[in-house]
Amino acid sequence: MVAATIAGMFLVCFESLCTCFGTKRKDESEDHVLAEHSNSCYFGKVYRATLRDGRVVAIKRAKKENFVSLRTEFSNEVALLKSIEHKNLVRLLGYIDKPNERILITEYVPNGNLREHLDGQHGLVLGFNQRLEIAIDVAHGLTYLHLYAEKPIIHRDVKSSNILLTEGFMAKVADFGFARTGPTEPGQSQIETDVRGTAGYLDPEYLRSNHLTIKSDVFSYGVLLLEILSGRRPIEARRGPTERITVRWAFYKYNRGNVRDILDPMLTEAVNENILNRIFDLAFQCVAPTREDRPSMKEVVERLWKIRRDHTKIQRIAELTL
């Protein structure tokens, strides 16, 4: 099955891969479909497969009509994924790159994506502690991309459906099709590129100027943090005009001291108001209109650590007084 080994990964024989599905053609095996790929128009369904060595993997296959046009995006995703390794980033295991077939093979993350859990599709409500840990995990992954990868990497599509969860609810950032290497020259802070990403998460400065920086990911992360806490999507089209854009709605509540009104109503546990204020303060700094006013992801991680530490202390004191 393995055609070649490259830096711990492999190029795979497509015919052998199909047998892992127990079917003649992989796209006929609907029982193995994990999800429709939502990152871009190029990829179709995401499949689950068991390789001959017993490993369960996720398979992302390009749509047939896009084999040619996908070349740059596919090569970009492979090159970036080959260069990174972090527990909070989905790991590339192998790939197929042929004129008529392009497939990415990544680690299988079994517990669906964050958006599904916020929507209650898995039958359990994420508790506040779980949400805080997920937020920290994502921040860790982005900090690695921005600071500790071989070259700075800007994800460009940070959103809840691109955050996969393990059985233990560890978060892993996925889908690097839109990712770009960031500025590498001394004194350079941005790169010019066509706008890519998802409505509701896009950095407004990037949207206006086509200038992409690591602070563009910080903006998207701020939107995600509000989504994690509120349960709302960034754009809620069915709501009234004042509630349609979650960031604006949440900021209105925050400015009037009504932070508890922002919390997901499915969260029934009591959370200290000072803790909530600090998290929302961080989220709104991340979505500041100008990049200079946004923190780095490293600062986000450090502040979330302190918030978690203080939240844990408050919980322990509350338990002792019961």
Looking at the annotation, which residues are catalytic?
Answer: 157
Nearest in space to 197 (alpha carbons), one of 140, 231, 154: 154
Which two tokens mark 154? 């800007």
Cα within 13 Å of Cα(176), Cβ side: 27
- The amino acid occupying position 257 is G
Computed on alpha carbons and rounded to an integer, the radius of gyration of the chain in Å comes to 20
Q: 208-234 burial string, b = 16+ CB within 10 Å, else e?
A: eeeebbbbbbbbbbbbbbbbbbbbbbb
Distance CA 228, CA 226 (A): 5
C-alpha 233: how far from chain center? 14
Question: For tokens 């508890």, what's the residue?
Answer: 260
* CA nearest neighbour of 43 among 64, 24, 18: 64
Helices (H), the chain: 14-19, 71-82, 114-118, 128-143, 204-209, 214-230, 246-255, 273-286, 297-320
Q: Which residue has the tokens 């859990």?
A: 117
Angle at 14 between CA 10 and CA 17, to 5 degrees: 80
**H helix intervals, 86-184:** 114-118, 128-143
